[in-house]
Structure 1
Amino acid sequence: MSVRFLTAEAAAELVQDGQTLAVGGSGGGLLEPDALLAALGRRFRETGTPRGLDLVHTTGIGDREGGGMDHLAQRGLVRSVVAGNWGMAPAMSAMAVAGEFEAYNFPQGVMSQLFREIAAGRPGVVTHVGLGTFCDPRVEAGRLNDVSPQTRVEVVELAGREWLFYPAFDLDVCYIRGTTADERGNLSFEQEGARLEMLAIAQATRNRGGLVIAQVKRLAKAGTLDPRLVVVPGICVDVVVHHPAQRQVVTHEYEPAFSGELRAAASALPPFPLDARKVVARRALSEVVPGDVVNLGVGIADGIASVAAEEGRLDEFTTTIEQGAVGGIPARGVIFGVATNPEAILDQAAQFDFYDGGGLDIAFLGFAQVDALGNVNVSKFGSRVVGTGGFVDISQNAGTVVFCGTFTAGGLDVRVGGGELRVVAEGAHAKFVPAVGQVTFSARESVARGQRVRYVTERAVFDLTARGLRLLEVAPGVDVRRDVLDLIPFDVLVEDVRTMEPGYFQ
């Protein structure tokens, strides 16, 4: 098979009206085919084509500032989008909420596994992931607006159990990325901080008769690549676009500690200031048992590894993140998805196989809303769609789940020091609400599974019971009635409340 080497603009001309385009990559520029997305967006602005594309991507792609999928956030270009996360592309998210096109949000793990099933010619993914959440067709069917039909997910019964079935679909073209391509189209990933599902997307597109377009930073002579570093073979690649300015992630041209080329000293990591986020991370870390396999989610939970490094506890447990890194210290902020000093980098679908089967001892995840039943929302708030990412897959399957967040949001001001916490100004937005805006974590399903669940804030800690939330601890310096219970619009069980360790606050 002959591989063509084209410019990004020439590659954009290959995408036709009405086609299904799969895009690989993750937030913050991780494995993002940025030159391809930018060229396609320019083509539409200049010519009005291609129109009516069906877009599919596993997780959030972008930088929250107009990059990634936001290049394609143009009226008429998109007919539908199925995505695991929307938060990195706010313009595309806003169009989805406004009903500009059909829009769906499915779990990130399911999306990554779905490409593998399509590659193998199987009918789709049958899984327990999503039951009882907004992905369940008896709830919202993963739909983000009223123009989206309820046809993307089904409830099925198999072996005496209920499951969700996410059907396969056709693929006409895909955008993927690697570090180096040789003359035969083999793609190596030596400077990447993840592998994601690039191989599965390429195989699925190729086996469905579609066109595989790959962006790379470097070109090499045929036969010179180390075969152990080749992730996507040339038999699955049709077009290569050379982009010498390609960055590893948006914040770094290349950080060798992300790819595993070298190990960075822990002293090189930025210090974590003493504030509400650090208090939450310290208290959450106390839930870890030596030997645990841990998942750290994006947001406030991603600081737990930094606190563990400061306290000399990082060697007691093994961190993982859904994009595929095992070990190391997950990066924080927009480039969440890479890790400093990983021990292994797996395909994303394989990481989720491990999660779905119960491999996680404990997971630390953020929360935006918690309600009277203990349900959690992180995916949709009014007119804003962030999406679930790997939250549904992880929260349903870890043995213990610790939800981490500040007690209120939007201007919260607390003073931490001297072994206590003082609330100076309350946040404008309540996070404990009578009913969540969207069920990303189903408390009922969790209780039925016998899962252990904690909710950790800077001033109070709760656990989940069959009767709802129970208050376990409050911070020293906090008035339990004024600063906690009076701010929760539902009854909380209060039994033998303890004081949080003063060491968290100094």
Structure 2
Amino acid sequence: MKMRTAKFIAELINDGSVVIPGGFGCCGHPDVIIGAISDRFQRESQPTDLTLIFGSGGGDKKGQGLDKLADSRLIKRAIGGFWGFCPSLTKLGLEGKIEAHNWPMGVISHLFRDIATGLDGHLSHIGLNTFVDPRLDGGSLSKSQKSLVELTEVRGKERLFYPSLGVDFALLRGTLADHQGNVSMRGEAALHDAFWQAMAARNAGGKVVIQVERVIDKLVAEEVDIPGNLVDYIVISGEHHFPSYGSATVTEDEPRETLPLAKSLIIERACREFIPEGAFLNFGIGIPAIIGEKLSNLYKAVHTSIESGVINGSPKQGISFGEVNGYSSIIQQADLFSFYNGGGIDIAFLGFAEIDQYGNINASSFGEKVTGAGGFINIAASAKKLVFCGTMSTKGLILESDEKGINIKKEGEILKFVKKVQQITISTNHSEFIGKHISIITERAVFTISEGLIVLEELAKGVSAEDIIKLIPFPIKVSDKIKF
């Protein structure tokens, strides 16, 4: 292990290199190293034609993280699970200025592990019958680009093959290193995929570079998260690593933003879902993360998680998503996705952007806003029960409530129940969803989905079935035992 400056590392990176930028969205991004690469490119117009591979792209939606590299001369190709925190890089992909691919986050986590194992790629059922499937969009952000994903068959079953492109550099972040190159991540929000990313780069013949706050003489063995035999270079940032961009800018004493009534109604109803003792829960970003925080205070005999690898506790929101207060344990992200894929989640609370008449759900692309699938596809395909949470309309929805119930003062400009979704993040009318309990909780009604058929099950006070039906541009079934 050698200690070097970020500028030195940036100058090591050759044109056409395949780079893994570490972290999880707004958590744990190696900003000092990424900033040095950006600075070098501004000075020298080098390196060029890089390929990025990430599970959740680093950023704060305001220019930090991977958006520092958002130049089509610098980046040739990017493969990522979640793109929502790096909008400038996403825009390049949508415009076809870079080759951009959205694969399920769990697939990418497992791809790192498979590269470390020496495999040519990752084989999985995850992504079948979704926009990642080459029979649909093939996972490309721009329809003009060719899919990298291959449809194949193993023992009579359809599978998707996600190829390895090799790894030249893994650029990661830890908290402390010692003089033997061992790294501890004890001050980070989670372990993320750092161990497997380092091993993938090492075994693929690449270089492993880790940004840390400082170097000490020797770490206690039990605190080592990345062993020194995997590490080529240490970059000392010389500054405190906040676990997330959010925790770097928000103090614990800062008052929280008041939630709109629509979101509060959804959260209140979601918290009344039956949750058996000992259940294992997952919460997505947005409204589900707030539900997770509420439920963690209501139920002590359940287990919760977010896909960064954190078990139990209260998940934070916004650009702190990935951080959790009061967690009980942290495991490797890839290992948590193995648990997810095997059916370990009892109930998943997830958001949605659109739902259509075929039971397709879009949670990855909505107009010009493309976040990517993140862990949504892995979780939805594998969880035993799904609870989708979101408003019936968006962009300008205003609600009021009184003793008679809720009153829609202004309907949102965009309805979220549509004839055809813009992108199929999951399709509930396929075999893996048959027999699975699927609910949709909105601010004014609750639905279930069975084999693609949407059924109205509950109405909020002050709302009639006719009010709901007129907002949905396709036939739905109204339950004979509708609740109020």
State TM-score, norm by structure 2: 0.95
Q: Is the 8 A contact 1:178 1:215 kept in 2?
A: yes
- The one-letter code of the counterpart of 1:48 is S
Q: CA, structure 1 residues 397+178, in 2 after alignment: closer, same or farther (shift >3 Å)?
A: same
Aligned with residue 31 of structure 1, among 17, 28, 32: 28
2:67 aligns with 70
Aligned residue for 2:265?
279
CA distance in 2 between counterparts of 1:229 and 1:345 reads: 13
Mapping 1:322-333, distance limit 5 Å: 322-333=307-318
Which residue is 2:4 aligned to?
6
Structure 1's 148 and 467: CA in aligned 2 closer, same or farther, altered over 3 A?
closer
1:261 maps to which residue? none
Inter-partner Cα distance in structure 2 for 1:352 and 1:272: 33
**Residue deviations 1:65-100 (CA, integer Å, cap 9, x gap):** 101110000130011000011110010111110000
CA distance in structure 2 between the aligned counterparts of 1:490 and 1:27, rounded to whole angstroms: 37
Is 1:102 aligned with 2:96?
A: no
Name 2:435's counterpart in structure 1: 450
Q: 2:39 aligns with which of 27, 39, 42?
A: 42
Q: Deviation of residue 308 (structure 1)? A: 2.5
Aligned residue runs from structure 1 range 95-134, under 5 A: 95-134=92-131
Whether contact under 8 Å (1:84, 1:388) holds in the other structure is yes
Secondary structure at the aligned position of 1:141 is classed as: coil
- Residues 185 and 240 in structure 1, CA contact (< 8 A), matched pair in contact too: yes
Given that 1:404 and 1:457 are in contact with CA atoms closer than 8 Å, whether structure 2 keeps it comes out as: yes
User: Aligned partners of 2:18 and 2:254: how far apart in 1?
Assistant: 44
Aligned to 1:408: 393
- Taking the aligned partners of 2:210 and 2:452, their CA distance within structure 1 comes to 52
Q: Aligned partners of 2:254, 2:73: CA distance in 1, in Å?
A: 47
Find the counterpart in structure 2 of residue 480 from structure 1: 465
Q: Which moved more, 1:417-426 or 1:94-103?
A: 417-426
Cα deviation, residue 191, structure 1: 0.8
CA contact (8 A) 1:187 1:233 kept: yes
How is 1:262-277 mapped onto 2 (pairs within 5 angstroms)?
Answer: 273=259, 275-277=261-263
Q: Deviations over 1:170-206 (max 9, x none)?
A: 1111101100011121110111120011011111111
User: Could you tell me how far apart the structure 2 residues matched to 1:304 and 1:391 are?
Assistant: 16
Specify the code of the residue in structure 1 equivalent to 2:190: A
- Whether the 8 Å CA contact 2:246–2:318 is kept in 1: the answer is no
Query: How far off its partner does 1:487 sit?
Result: 1.1
Distance in 1, matches of 2:348 and 2:371, equals 20
For residue 170 of structure 2, what is the aligned residue in structure 1? Answer: 174
Mapping 1:206-355, distance limit 5 Å? 206-221=202-217, 224-245=218-239, 246-253=241-248, 273=259, 275-287=261-273, 288-309=275-296, 312-355=297-340
> Do the aligned residues in 2 keep the contact of 1:272 with 1:307 (CA within 8 Å)?
no
Give secondary structure in 1 for the equivalent of 2:457: strand
Q: Does 1:186 align with 2:173?
A: no
3-state DSSP of counterpart to 1:176:
strand
Q: CA RMSD in A?
A: 2.1
Moved more, 164-173 or 323-332: 164-173
Q: Aligned partners of 1:87, 1:271: CA distance in 2, in Å?
A: 21
Tell me the residue number matched to 1:462: 447
Distance 1:395 1:121, change over 3 A: same
* Equivalent residue letter for 1:25: G
- 8 Å contact kept, 1:276–1:416: no
8 Å CA contact 1:282–1:307 kept in 2: the answer is: no
Q: Give distance in 2, aligned partners of 1:86 and 1:365.
A: 17
Give the equivalent residue in structure 2 for 1:504.
none
Structure 2 counterpart of 1:285, which letter? C
d(CA) in 2 for partners of 1:440, 1:17: 34
Give the 3-state SS of the residue equivalent to 1:162 in structure 2: strand
Kindly state the Cα deviation for residue 244 of structure 1 after the two structures are TM-superposed. Answer: 2.2
**TM-score after normalising by structure 1:** 0.91
Please name the residue that 1:503 is paired with.
none
The answer for the alignment partner of 1:20 in structure 2 is 18
Task: Check conservation: 1:12, 1:36, Cα contact below 8 A.
Answer: yes
Greater displacement, 176-185 / 239-248: 239-248
> How has the CA–CA distance of structure 1 residues 240 and 147 changed in structure 2, closer, same or farther, with 3 Å as cutoff?
farther
Q: Which runs of 5+ in 2 are unaligned?
A: none
Moved more, 380-389 or 229-238: 380-389
Aligned to 2:222, the other structure's residue is in SS state: coil
SS at match of 2:399: strand
1:11 is paired with a residue whose SS is helix
Change (3 A) 1:308 1:416: farther
**1:414-453 map, 5 Å:** 414-416=399-401, 418=403, 420-445=405-430, 448-453=433-438
Cα deviations by residue, 1:283-330 (Å, 9 ceiling, x for unpaired): 122222332110000011111123325xx5231321111000111111
CA contact (8 A) 2:381 2:432 kept: no
Given the superposition, is the C-alpha separation of residues 417 and 364 from structure 1 closer, same or farther in structure 2, using an over 3 Å criterion? farther
Instruction: Compute the displacement of 1:140 (Å).
Output: 1.2
Contact in 1 for aligned 2:293/2:313 (Cα 8 Å):
no
Q: Is residue 2:481 matched to residue 1:492?
A: no
Structure 1 stretch displaced more, 244-253 or 69-78:
244-253
Count of residues in correspondence between the two structures: 482
Contact 1:27 1:335 in 2 (8 A): no
